[in-house]
């Protein structure tokens, strides 16, 4: 890393004139715009190496050919668009639709579960608010993979949940694993903190007097919720929805471990191309398409709700 | 306690409110007449805001009744009370325009769309904000936000408008201007105003009547000139304006006046209190406002019935309109005298000068004995 300094003013060769006061000394400083943007340098380097370059590699792979020894053969003269045609094969459409469906249901569940908790912590948490927030993120102390394995143990056919239901006389032959239920449960469980934290930040900032003002003006609890609280905290809600939905659509750990063949999501299908199926070009093409789709979706979403909220 | 004439619009009767160990409002009784501009005045933590919030319905009393237009409203949620509030922070809805903010309360009532438009316009005109309909609260100045908050509350035509230190966030000049504005609006709409403030001048200027509160209790209720000229307690005398408080022993009685002695040998007259009997030997404290006192030359002959005290000038503070003299009397009491600067300023005197103060005993007000205070106010 080197920073180019502006050309220095050459020191004056003439001896200082005792009759005149010293001219103001020019210290060796960088121009303002450089100084301000220096703050961006670490992240820029980080993103260049860990986001932009890998992304370019994925795009390169997506236009290559499946190889035998090297996984991908790429030549500029033979760009293979067929990978994209493959990726858009109507046979894969259900996987894609299912991914969006699961992610949407999980996001909605996160809103329903997260909102009351975030509201409670922000408004009634008192001086223990920070403790509650730490409790919310405590699951992150354990790897997501391990926690999903734990769910596997709980949900499997002779797992904890079935045994518990059996002891309660509710039958012990329920099938949870390999079903949509298990995958959605896993996604909701995994991403819930990403909903709670931004919601909390928004609710905490809200002036309590707004709620009182709404009551004062004749609006009951339900009306106040939809007309005052929800619009006021919508920046947090929008952020929470994005933070849950985006990783949930592309997640592959949860459907791989808790789902079955019929509950595969796009993430696990892509992971498959790089693993078992050994079709890196196809996997790369699917990745690129998924990214474009999510970007378009976020763009539309922010244009519709974001203008009000952000 | 001075009662209002005419029907009572809103009243607190024997109301007590506790927050944990703290008694925020302690057995308060206040009745506000229809169409009155009534203020609750006191330092922070005196219970005025809590009293207001109990009328609004944001707090429920632990004991006592809250009556609105003759009906007990304890337990009625705020959205079912025919009162509206102007909040200290204004609490305008940031996601709504000015017009939508004002229309917010009407959306809940069965008011047709064109009626809503008309009323919003009428009340924005009233607060002189026509043409601001489509602005967001964040685009308005503090004074303008204040006006929106006022229009938003008044548009519902409540029985009582509650105002919680509404001018607290404004600078002095704007505050003076809004005081007059609020008085005009109150006269125009005729709604009962209950106004909470810690600014004594504001309360004296604006109110028809006011209650002075301290430590959860009502110290005195009355017309502004009552409160100022005849403070009932030491707290009121000290909180409103500047007061001289003199401790004295009763030595005799002449008609409606008591003879008292602050320092051995002097003889002062004070109007005898009508609500309690005093006998020679009792100690009492009385108060007199600094502008009632006059500085006279040692040689001047003074009528016998006037109060006369000799002392030494300790401090002279020039204040433009008047000069404040601090005088230490022979008994050791410090008295403050306001002298109108209608003569030459240099005549006010210099520290160290011996001087004599004279005033009419009519202006002396005997203060309630502190332990008897509670009995006197509630009995």
In the predicted structure, residue B99 carries a pLDDT above the cut 70: yes
For residue A231, list chain B residues with Cβ-Cβ distance below 8 A.
Answer: 93, 95
Q: Is B100 at the interface with chain A, CB within 8 A? A: no
Residue A210: closest CA among chain B residues belongs to which residue?
Answer: B91
Rounded to the nearest angstrom, the minimum Cα separation between A105 and chain B is 28
Q: Is B93 at the interface with chain A, CB within 8 A? A: yes
**Region B127-142: what's the mean pLDDT?**
92
Q: What are the pLDDT digits (tens) for B60-83? A: 999 999 999 989 999 999 999 999
Q: Residue B326: pLDDT band by 50, 70, 90 thresholds?
A: very high
For residue A220, list chain B residues with Cβ-Cβ distance below 8 A.
Answer: 77, 79
Q: Are B87 and A218 an interchain contact pair (Cβ–Cβ within 8 Å)? A: no
Q: Is B20 at the interface with chain A, CB within 8 A? A: no
Q: Are A214 and B104 an interchain contact pair (Cβ–Cβ within 8 Å)? A: yes
Among residues 191-230 of chain A, which lie with CB inside 8 Å of chain B? Answer: 207, 209-210, 212-220, 223, 227-228
**Interface predicted TM-score (ipTM) over 0.90:** no
Closest partner residue to A231 (CB to CB) among B92, B95, B105 is: B95
Provide the pLDDT for residue B4.
56
In the predicted structure, residue B336 carries a pLDDT above the cut 90: yes
Provide the pLDDT for residue B342.
77
Please give the Cα distance from A261 to A177 (Å, whole number): 11
Q: Are A213 and B91 an interchain contact pair (Cβ–Cβ within 8 Å)? A: yes
Contacts A–B by Cβ distance under 8 A: 64
Q: Residue B22: pLDDT band by 50, 70, 90 thresholds?
A: very high
Q: What are the pLDDT digits (tens) for B147-180? A: 999 999 999 999 999 999 999 888 888 899 999 9
Distances (CA, A) of A274 to A268, A287, B331: 10, 11, 100
Q: What are the pLDDT digits (tens) for B215-227? A: 999 999 999 999 9
Percent of chain B with pLDDT over 70: 94
Q: Is A232 at the interface with chain B, CB within 8 A? A: yes
Domain B242-370 fold? OB fold (Dihydrolipoamide Acetyltransferase, E2P) (2.40.50)
Residue B93: closest CA among chain A residues belongs to which residue?
Answer: A210
Q: Is B94 at the interface with chain A, CB within 8 A? A: yes
Provide the pLDDT for residue B275.
79
Domain B8-234 fold? Rossmann fold (3.40.50)
Provide the pLDDT for residue A31.
82
Reported as type and span, the H/E element at residue B34 is none
Q: What are the pLDDT digits (tens) for B137-152? A: 999 998 899 999 999 9
Structural domains of chain A in order of their starting residue, each with its CATH number? 89-309 (1.10.3720.10)
Rounded to the nearest angstrom, the minimum Cα separation between B57 and chain A is 8
For residue B94, list chain A residues with Cβ-Cβ distance below 8 A.
Answer: 232
* DSSP codes of every residue in chain A: ---PPPPPPPPP-SPP-TTSPPPPP------HHHHHHGGGHHHHHHHIIIIIHHHHHHHHHHTSEE-SSSSEE--GGG--THHHHHHT-GGGHHHHHHHHHHHHHHHHHHHHHHHHHHHHHHHH-GGGHHHHHHHHHGGGGS-HHHHHHHHHHHHSTTSHHHHHHHHTTS-S----TTSHHHHHHHHHHHHHHHHHHHHHHHHHHS-HHHHHHHHHTT--HHHHIIIIIHHHHHHHHHHHHHHHHHHHHH--HHHHHH--GGG--HHHHHHHHHTTT--HHHHHHHHHHHHHHHHHHHHHHIIIIIHHH-
Arithmetic mean of pLDDT over chain A: 86
Residue B86: closest CA among chain A residues belongs to which residue?
Answer: A213
Q: Is B105 at the interface with chain A, CB within 8 A? A: yes
Q: Are B57 and A215 an interchain contact pair (Cβ–Cβ within 8 Å)? A: yes
Rounded to the nearest angstrom, the minimum Cα separation between B198 and chain A is 20
Provide the pLDDT for residue A186.
94
Provide the pLDDT for residue A2.
45
Q: Are B79 and A308 an interchain contact pair (Cβ–Cβ within 8 Å)? A: no
**Region B267-285: what's the mean pLDDT?**
86
Provide the pLDDT for residue B264.
77
For residue B92, list chain A residues with Cβ-Cβ distance below 8 A.
Answer: 213
Q: Is A308 at the interface with chain B, CB within 8 A? A: yes
In the predicted structure, residue B205 carries a pLDDT above the cut 80: yes
Rounded to the nearest angstrom, the minimum Cα separation between A242 and chain B is 21
In the predicted model, residues of chain A with pLDDT beneath 50 are: 1-14, 16, 310
Q: What are the pLDDT digits (tens) for B246-262? A: 988 899 888 889 989 88
Domain boundaries, chain B: 8-234, 242-370
- The reply to whether domains B8-234 and B242-370 share a CATH topology is no
């Amino acid at each position: 890393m080197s920073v180019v300094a502006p050309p220095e003013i050459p020191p004056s060769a003439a001896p200082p004139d005792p009759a005149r006061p010293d001219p103001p000394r020019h210290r060796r400083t960088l121009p303002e715009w450089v100084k301000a943007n220096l703050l961006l340098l670490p992240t820029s380097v980080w993103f260049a190496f860990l986001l932009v370059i890998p992304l370019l590699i994925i795009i390169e792979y997506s236009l290559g050919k499946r190889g035998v020894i090297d996984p991908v053969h790429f030549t500029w003269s033979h760009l293979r668009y067929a990978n994209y045609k493959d990726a858009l094969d109507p046979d894969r459409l259900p996987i894609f639709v299912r991914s969006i469906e699961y992610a949407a249901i999980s996001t909605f569940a996160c809103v329903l579960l997260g909102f009351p908790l975030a509201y409670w912590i922000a408004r009634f948490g008192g001086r223990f608010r920070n403790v509650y927030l730490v409790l919310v993120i405590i699951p992150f102390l354990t790897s997501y993979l391990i926690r999903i394995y734990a769910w596997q143990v709980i949900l499997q056919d002779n797992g904890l949940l079935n045994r518990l239901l059996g002891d309660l006389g509710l039958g012990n032959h329920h099938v949870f694993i390999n079903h949509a239920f298990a995958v959605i449960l896993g996604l909701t469980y995994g991403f819930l903190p990403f909903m709670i934290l931004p919601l909390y930040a928004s609710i905490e900032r809200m002036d309590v007097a707004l709620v009182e003002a709404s009551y004062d003006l004749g609006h009951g609890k339900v009306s106040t919720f939809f007309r005052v609280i929800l619009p006021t905290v919508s920046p947090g809600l929008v952020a929470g929805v994005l933070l849950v939905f985006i990783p949930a659509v592309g997640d592959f750990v949860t459907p791989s471990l808790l789902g079955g063949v019929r509950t595969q999501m796009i993430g696990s299908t892509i992971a498959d191309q790089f693993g078992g199926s050994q079709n890196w070009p196809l996997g790369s093409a699917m990745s690129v398409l998924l990214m474009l789709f999510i970007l378009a979706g976020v763009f539309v979403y922010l244009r519709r709700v974001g203008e009000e909220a952000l | 306690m001075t009662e209002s004439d005419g029907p009572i619009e809103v009243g607190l009767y024997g109301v007590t409110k506790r927050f944990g160990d703290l008694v925020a409002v302690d057995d308060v009784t206040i009745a506000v007449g229809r169409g009155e501009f009534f203020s609750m005045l006191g330092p922070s933590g005196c219970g005025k805001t809590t009293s207001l919030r109990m009328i609004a319905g944001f707090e429920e009393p632990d004991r006592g009744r809250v009556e609105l237009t003759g009906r007990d409203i304890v337990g009625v949620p705020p959205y079912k009370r025919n009162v509206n509030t102007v909040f200290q922070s204004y609490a305008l809805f940031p996601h709504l325009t000015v017009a939508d903010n004002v229309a917010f309360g009407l959306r809940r009532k069965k008011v047709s769309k064109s009626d809503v438009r008309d009323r919003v316009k009428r009340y924005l005109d009233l607060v002189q904000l026509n043409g601001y309909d489509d602005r967001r609260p964040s685009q308005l100045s503090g004074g303008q936000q204040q006006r929106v908050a006022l229009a938003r509350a008044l548009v519902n035509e409540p029985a009582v408008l509650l105002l919680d230190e509404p001018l607290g966030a404004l600078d002095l000049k704007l505050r003076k201007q809004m005081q007059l504005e609020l008085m005009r609006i109150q006269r125009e709409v005729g709604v009962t105003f209950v106004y909470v403030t810690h600014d004594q001048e504001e309360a004296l200027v604006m109110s028809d009547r006011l209650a002075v509160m301290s430590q959860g209790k009502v110290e005195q209720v009355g017309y502004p000139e009552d409160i100022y000229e005849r403070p009932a307690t030491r707290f009121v005398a000290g909180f409103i304006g500047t007061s001289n408080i003199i401790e004295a022993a009763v030595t005799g009685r002449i008609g409606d006046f008591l003879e008292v002695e602050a320092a051995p040998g002097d003889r002062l007259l004070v109007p005898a209190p009508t609500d309690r009997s005093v006998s020679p030997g009792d100690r009492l404290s009385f108060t007199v406002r600094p502008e009632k006192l006059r500085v006279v030359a040692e040689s001047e002959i003074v009528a016998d019935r006037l109060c006369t005290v000799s002392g030494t000038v300790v401090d002279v503070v020039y204040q433009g309109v008047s000069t404040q003299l601090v005088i230490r009397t022979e008994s050791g009491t410090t008295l403050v005298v306001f002298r109108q600067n209608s003569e030459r300023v240099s005549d006010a005197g210099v520290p160290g000068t011996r001087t004599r103060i004279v005033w009419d005993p009519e202006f002396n007000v005997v203060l309630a004995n502190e332990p008897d205070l509670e009995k006197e106010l509630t009995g």
